[in-house]
Amino acid sequence: MRILGLDTATALASVALLEDGRLLAAATYPPRGQIDLTGAVKSNHAETVIPLIQSLLDGAGMTLSDLNAIAISIGPGSFTGLRIGLALVKGIAYDHQLPVVGMSSLEARAASLPNSSGPICALLDARKEEVYAALFHGSDGQFARRSDDRALAVGELASVIGAGVDAVKFVGNGAQRYRQELTRMFHGRAEIIDERSCKNAAAAVAELAQSRCYETLGADLGTLQPLYLGASQALGNIPVSLPNPLK
């Protein structure tokens, strides 16, 4: 099975190509060596994602017709980025009759940690001293969800982690953005993971989606929507239309 993975939940866009669970290629924009760990980097996904996809397919000697499915992170995350990514994926899927699997952006961040054990808190910056957060637990190369995706103030993260936890790994641009606050709040129990040491987010999205492709034919494209959390949820109905030069 060949799966194209996409992640546009943050300012860093990423794409990946998997074949039978093996990563063939992955790319980000900006490139991983230029990642701004504060999350302040600006990027126009409408201009960058299509060239990233085309570059991966060309490098693998494939076209969209060679794919079996597409996996996309549907949120939470940047409202504009999520809409652009999903609009592009829907266009490709309709044109090429491909199933689409939507994955949580936070679950993908937790899955990007290689062979991690213990509590993992995935954080994405929601601005205005707020984050999108979810707690997971890793064990023997596997991980399980321990909380739903939530939007909350940084100061409320203790309610997600819970009591009696010795150490927590924090991953995602929210962890980088609020490094000092996390270190102070958790009194040395917080381990902030450098995103540059993690798996490409789109690769994690595709890997998570692979087993679900075998279980289901994919989401209904007509009803598949970004996952918005918090007060800005009303923005979810703004349509996005993109040209699709990938034929």
**Mean pLDDT, contiguous 10-residue spans, the chain (247 residues):** 95 94 92 55 80 96 95 94 94 93 95 88 94 93 90 93 85 95 91 89 94 65 82 38 42
Q: Do the first three CATH levels of 2-106+198-237 and 114-195 match, i.e. the same topology? A: yes
What topology does CATH give the domain 114-195? Answer: Nucleotidyltransferase; domain 5 (3.30.420)
pTM higher than 0.85? yes
Q: How far is CA 48 from CA 26, 60, 98, in A?
A: 14, 19, 22
Identify the pLDDT of residue 59. 96
Identify the pLDDT of residue 32. 59
- Half-sphere exposure of 50 toward its Cβ, with a 13 Å CA cutoff? 14
Q: What's the chain's length in residues? A: 247
Vertex 199: Cα angle to 193 and 200 (nearest 5) = 115
Identify the pLDDT of residue 31. 75
Domains in the chain: boundaries: 2-106+198-237, 114-195
Q: Which CATH class is domain 2-106+198-237?
A: alpha beta
